[in-house]
Amino acid sequence: MTRSNYWTRRLTSAQLSRRRFVGGAAVTGVGAAALGLVGCGDDDDGEATATTAPGGSPTAPGATATPAQQAVDGGILRSIWLGGSQFDSTDTHRGFRDETYWLSNYVLNKIIRYSNPDTGDVEADLAEKWETPDSQTYTFTIRKDVKWQNTSLTNGRALTSKDIKWHIERQRDAKLVDGTAVPFRFQSDYTGVTVETPDDYTVKLKLPAPNGAFLTRMAAYFATVPNRETVEKYEKTYNTLTEEAMPATGAFTIKKWRANEDVYVQKNPQNFRKGEPHFDGMILPVGLFADPTAARLAFEQKQIDAWASPDASVTKSILDAHKDSMYEVLTGVANTVFLHLNMNNQFKDVRLVRAMNMAVDRRLMISTFHQGLGAVSGPVTWLQEGFAVKPEDLIKYPGYRTDRQLEIKEARELWTAGGGPALGDVDIRVTDTWLGPYPDTNQIMIKMFNEALGVTQFKSTKCTYNDDIIPNLANGKFPNWMSWTSQVNSPDPRNDLLNTFNSKGSGNFQKVNNADLDKLTNDAILTSDLTKARDLTQQAQKIILDNGHFGNVVLYNYISRAAYWNYLHGNFKTNPSAGKAAAGYNIFSGHLVAKNSYLDPKDPSYGDTVKNRSL
């Protein structure tokens, strides 16, 4: 949620030359590449710009949680940190839902990782260092102390450069062992990438062209490196959850993995990051997500340690009633709320999509579902401020204007011109995971669209990601649906735009084929000049906005208000202080939980319920 003025200054005044980028990265290694690439973080100009945390407390940029030396080891966390409960894959290469990726960040590692996801600073993970001798070559030196969890398939062997080579080539080729071609969600990130392994601990990547955002993809939450032997053994049953299907290299190993119920993870004694995690284990009762009332009761009874009601006013009432034993955490939710309209099917005419983009009342939805805690987002969300269309410009685009009557008038004209009334029933489906916390959404959708377009043809039914959406993405038969969809995975949106809107993008399920957009998204990736990258991204967004987002209608990102018991020290960007709320990372930071989070048994709120937990 932090809106660093630094971003704006950086993008408007500083231009990082390619020479500087290459040299900086090569010399300073860890962290410098990200600095060059996304132009943020605590950089070399010595600025100590204060930014304001969501709770209103000024903090230093990139402030981290309580220093590690104060952390207390031991205890078992119970929390709903995995969101919904519908895992679709044990194979991190083939997942289309975020839950598997989130879990994998407790269990697996990436080549590099974000030290501060919101700013884009990166640090070593499986790679202890890296060099970029030229803008298309990355040489990673892999740690020698990383071992796979000891299973009958891994035999506790060391992770080597061959694991990284397989990890990249498998996604690039998007083929199973038997040669079957299957959809890999991030295939286009690796198109044309070649991998060499001069020795067991060196990986040399050669990109087909410069990619200014490549390292941010390596550090994103979905870039965890799984074990080859295990993934290949479970290739045919990759959507059947078993603990053995994801052997660890990271902070935790999976002890129990039950669909719709819970996940148990326990401390990995072989974790190469000594002293982490602080927890002995974590119990993640994912099933509670669908029942906010049960979650709340569990929180009040300390069966879970942190909780956020879908109704922020309810969370506030609980916080107010327990001022001495709880604290507030405000976090921008990276899981963006989308309206998807299938342009392969009912919404082939772009006028219909444009009409819907105006008919949907984003601000009303924020007000209705989140009590005003949130802001509208363009194709690049407000969480990625450096590349997003500025709010003062965004409100001039259809769908974002404040004159609701004008939006409705134009929406109706387009709906009629595009043959909307002849479509018959239009079903805007809502995922079951959304309907858990927001159970009356169907009625609200029906009313909103029927009233805005002056028709009675809209209906709204329930759907699921696993049955209705994911299996039908590649074949273009997915339903029209509204829910959380895309997890913002880095401050740099370029790859996501390319993935979704470029005709060669592996996430281009709407089959967008726009030559200008192809060129802009390609060029934006190629450059390491941030100002140019931003300009190209802005131009691409203009095309996307003018075309009703091509059916991938970004609605908004909201702000979560959570309550934490005082005994839980969370994984925060800014810790709570003097009655001020803590600020969580907006962008996924699960990989930092092992480092930053712990339970404090000396806190008065700590009790036997927490103490007596066992895995």
Partner 1 sequence: MANLEQPAVLSSAFPIDYRKKRTVGSVLRTMARLGRRNKLGAFGVVLVVVILGVAIFSPIVQRYGDTQRFETANPDFNPTANPLDIAANPEKQLGSPTILTRYADPFTGDHWLGTDQFGRDIYARIVVGARLAVIIGIGASLIAVVAGTVVGIISGYFGGKLDLMLQRFVDSIQAFPGLVLLMLIVSIMDEPNLALTVAALGFLGFASSVRIVRSAVLSVSQMSYVEAARSYGARDVRIMARHVLPNIVAPVLVIFSISIGLYILAEASLSFLGLGPQDKTTWGKMVNAGRQAVDVHPWESVFSGAAITLTVLAFNLAGDALRDELDPRLRGR
Footprint of partner 1 (CB under 8 A): 1-3, 52, 54-56, 292-293, 296, 309-314, 316-317, 330, 332, 363-364, 366-368, 371-376, 382, 391-392, 395, 402, 404, 432, 435-436, 439-440, 442-444, 446-447, 459-462, 557, 559, 561, 581
Q: Which is nearer to partner 1, 208 or 372 (CB)?
A: 372
Q: Are 506 and 184 in contact (CB under 8 A)?
A: yes
Separation of alpha carbons 188 and 499, rounded Å: 7
Helix (H, G, I), strand (E, B) or coil at 370: helix
Residues whose CB falls within 8 Å of the CB of residue 36, separated by 6 or more in sequence, listed in order: 16, 20, 21, 24, 25, 528
Q: How far is the CB of 477 from partner 1 (least distance, A)?
A: 15
Q: Which is nearer to partner 1, 217 or 370 (CB)?
A: 370
Q: Which is nearer to partner 1, 228 or 401 (CB)?
A: 401
Tokens representing 21? 């980028």
Q: How far is the CB of 404 from partner 1 (least distance, A)?
A: 8
Q: How far is the CB of 573 from partner 1 (least distance, A)?
A: 12
Phi, psi of 147, deg, nearest 5: -120, 145
Which is it for strands 426-427 and 458-459: parallel, antiparallel or unpaired?
parallel
Q: Are 344 and 511 in contact (CB under 8 A)?
A: yes
Cα 523 to Cα 8, 50, 216, 487, 536, distances in angstroms: 21, 33, 17, 24, 7
Q: How far is the CB of 431 from partner 1 (least distance, A)?
A: 12
Q: Are 138 and 155 in contact (CB under 8 A)?
A: no
Q: Which residue has the tokens 């208000």?
A: 561
Q: Which is nearer to partner 1, 389 or 530 (CB)?
A: 389
- Omega within 30 of 0 (cis) for the link into 604: no
Q: How far is the CB of 323 from partner 1 (least distance, A)?
A: 16
Q: How far is the CB of 440 from partner 1 (least distance, A)?
A: 6
Q: How far is the CB of 432 from partner 1 (least distance, A)?
A: 8
Q: How far is the CB of 587 from partner 1 (least distance, A)?
A: 14
Q: Which is nearer to partner 1, 176 or 318 (CB)?
A: 318
Helix (H, G, I), strand (E, B) or coil at 185: coil
Q: Which is nearer to partner 1, 5 or 28 (CB)?
A: 5
Question: CA triplet 354, 360, 363: central angle to 5 degrees?
Answer: 130
Q: Which is nearer to partner 1, 174 or 389 (CB)?
A: 389
Separation of alpha carbons 22 and 318, rounded Å: 51
Helix (H, G, I), strand (E, B) or coil at 486: strand
Q: Which is nearer to partner 1, 132 or 574 (CB)?
A: 574
Q: Are 245 and 87 in contact (CB under 8 A)?
A: no
Separation of alpha carbons 542 and 536, rounded Å: 10
Q: Which is nearer to partner 1, 142 or 463 (CB)?
A: 463
Q: Which is nearer to partner 1, 433 or 510 (CB)?
A: 433
Q: Are 120 and 216 in contact (CB under 8 A)?
A: yes
What's the Rg (C-alpha) of the chain? Answer: 23
Q: Are 389 and 540 in contact (CB under 8 A)?
A: no
Cα 519 to Cα 386, 504, 526, 535, distances in angstroms: 21, 11, 11, 13
Q: How far is the CB of 32 from partner 1 (least distance, A)?
A: 28
Q: How far is the CB of 309 from partner 1 (least distance, A)?
A: 7
Q: How far is the CB of 316 from partner 1 (least distance, A)?
A: 8
